[in-house]
Chain A
Amino acid sequence: GAVVSQHPSRVICKSGTSVKIECRSLDFQATTMFWYRQFPKQSLMLMATSNEGSKATYEQGVEKDKFLINHASLTLSTLTVTSAHPEDSSFYICSASRGAGTEAFFGQGTRLTVV
């Protein structure tokens, strides 16, 4: 199978600071990565689509200056939550696929708590 590693799994930060979350495809090259946010008892909400070497495409309502996404290589994408506020506390999950429309594999998720 394909393995996607997301780090950290859990992070607590102070309001106003920035947090970086990494998503790595360990045994395949991921041309496309997706970042999701999940609230308790709800489904996954797509935040942005990240294609290697190009700017991320953000979903409507997602602030691109607040949620910085970088997909600098075929195995790594990062999500940086800038100037974090308590309302940014959530479960963030990444997925990676070899190409658009192909099978997607998910990381373990990151539980962010902003205090």
Chain B
Amino acid sequence: QQQVKQSPQSLIVQKGGIPIINCAYENTAFDYFPWYQQFPGKGPALLIAIRPDVSEKKEGRFTISFNKSAKQFSLHIMDSQPGDSATYFCAADYSWGKLQFGAGTQVVVTP
């Protein structure tokens, strides 16, 4: 049973657009929600993370929005660039880095 559901599976945006990736979770014990970025042939790299007592967090062009009551969180990539083309994973953690990952979203940013 997938504990973290991620959508969409893939999306294509033009340079400068704002890809939005959504995730939903069931387990209210989760207390840390990181996003990872993965390029082909590489391991996932931590992008940004949020705790459930915060509704929004920004780091550079990346923003997480968190809705605790709805058990949903999302990633926005502002002013997207072709170099942002990658697979993005949301995740949830409740126990010492034992992450539950979403299925991933392949983002393509066209020039």
A and B physically associate: no
